[in-house]
Structure 1
Amino acid sequence: MINVILADDQKIVREGIKMILSLDEGINILGEAENGKQLLILLEKALPDVILMDVRMPIMDGVVATKIIKEKYADVKVIILTTFSEDEYIFKAIKNGADGYILKDAGSDYIIKAIKTAYDGTMFLDPGVALKIVTAFNSLTSENHSSNKVYNQKYKLDALTPREIDVAKLIAQGKNNKYICEILFLRLGTVKNYVTKILEKLELNSRTELAVFISKCQI
């Protein structure tokens, strides 16, 4: 059973999502919140597997809430609900460690798939959101191509061991820790340690940032 908490300031949105999730017997609605602050209070009483959270909320938005949640409850998966035009929020949420990004108008099957994918430890990006991320990164790289930015990215990779590079490549392919364990014959705790070290060495904050980084370095 996957325990889920919904966080959205619009009651009608929460009711709609609850109706969608009720269609799957493997998902349980553990609670709901109207903003990030209320969500954090709720987490002190009930810890879910996955949080489905609106990026724009009063008092405390989804970006700030994601940062705090990931610092305090690293194993809780956070899926951001966004609209196609909220670029700034999307990029900030990525840096804060969100595990998935889906558009608010996504279909019921898509929302359920996103929750199950994040729960399994794999990043879930709506194609539209993924395109924005790659486009923005390509633009940034192009603007700085003549500078030391690309060189610095390649230089950072030299700090990784061969095994860490193997793990990084698999993460960039969207593979979860369980899959990485099986393919590289490693223990789960070992893979988690590798992921932590890789992010530290490359000065990144999330698996999503790592995936984009590896993609641009073309290793």
Structure 2
Amino acid sequence: MALESQPDIEVVGEAGDGSQAVTMTRALTPDVVLMDVRMPVMDGIEATRRITAAGVATRVLILTTFNLDEYVFTALRAGASGFLLKDVPPADLFTAIRAVAAGDAVVAPSVTRRLIDAFARHLPAPGRTPPEDDRRHPLNRLTTREREVLTALARGHSNAEIAEHLNVGPGTVKTHVARILAKLHLRDRVHVVIYAYESGLVRPGD
């Protein structure tokens, strides 16, 4: 009912379990799937993995009552473009759906800090060969400017902020972001952040 109150959002289907969600997504090809975590037959994490692995344009936004780290991490690794809790205000949910549909990503503020802390615990150990010293590292596919944009994205800056900092137009930043996603085989901005921390390019507190 809340979604249908928005003129630019159309609910095209509703599934009762993860398996049905995968089948309906293939048939209906929606822009966004709102996915729960705990469901019968197939859980939302596996359903998300199957949907994103299918190569369709559909993006998955997890919407759940379970604020557990294991769900957050596995959902994002499975290809989800966002993770929200069901106590999110309707207006914020609408905004999140539009953002995900546009190719962006969203994570509930309450779990963002925990994500960063988790990355900190799993950063490359001191003395490990840095990415720039390994010619085979995927980061070396990027130009100097693309690495600057990647670092800024990982630190949470918006396209407008990056454009102002680099003294370029917002359209140029969007182009750089698209190239970063393509070169590193990443799905969206949230996976850019995960990649930047796990590769050691960015560390908490930088």
Query: Into which bin does the TM-score normalised by the smaller protein fall?
Result: 0.7 to 0.9
**1:43 has 2:25 as partner:** yes
Residues 1:185 and 2:172 aligned together: yes
Using structure 2 for the length normalisation, give the TM-score: 0.76
Q: Is 1:91 the counterpart of 2:73 in the alignment?
A: yes
Alignment map for 1:186-201 (pairs within 5 Å): 192-199=178-185
Query: What is the DSSP-based 3-state SS (H/G/I as helix, E as strand, rest coil) of the residue aligned with 2:2?
Result: helix
Give the unaligned 5+ runs of structure 2. Answer: none
Shift of 1:45: 2.1
Q: Tell me the residue number matched to 1:113.
A: 95
The DSSP-based 3-state class of the residue aligned with 2:34 is strand
What corresponds to 1:137 in structure 2? 119
- What is the TM-score of this pair, normalised by structure 1? 0.72
Distance in 1, Cα, partners of 2:15 & 2:111: 24
Contact 2:52 2:58 in 1 (8 A): yes
Partners of 2:81 and 2:196 in 1: CA distance = 17
Selected match of 1:217 from 190, 201, 205: 201
Contact 2:31–2:101 (8 Å) recurs in 1:
yes
Gaps of 5+ in 1: 1-18
In 1: Cα distance, 2:18 partner to 2:58 partner: 15
1:72 paired residue among 29, 38, 54? 54
Residues 52-75 of structure 1 show CA distances to partners (whole Å, capped at 9, x for unaligned) of 100221221111111211122442
Contact 2:22/2:51 (8 A) holds in 1 = yes
**Could you tell me how far apart the structure 2 residues matched to 1:92 and 1:158 are?**
27
Between the two proteins, the alignment pairs up a number of residues equal to 190
1:82 matched to 2:64? The reply is yes
CA RMSD of aligned residues (A): 3.1
2:3 to 21, 35, 55: 21
Sort the Cα spacing of 1:217 and 1:58 in 2 relative to 1 into closer, same or farther, 3 A: same
Give, in angstroms, the shift of residue 146 of structure 1.
3.9
Per-residue CA deviation, residues 141-196 of structure 1 (Å, 9 max, x unaligned), is 3xx63463xx44565444532243144245434657xx9895363886x8545412
Alpha-carbon separation, structure 1, partners of 2:174 and 2:90: 35
Structure with more strand by fraction: 1
Partners of 1:37 and 1:65 within 8 A in 2:
yes
Identity of aligned residues (%): 32
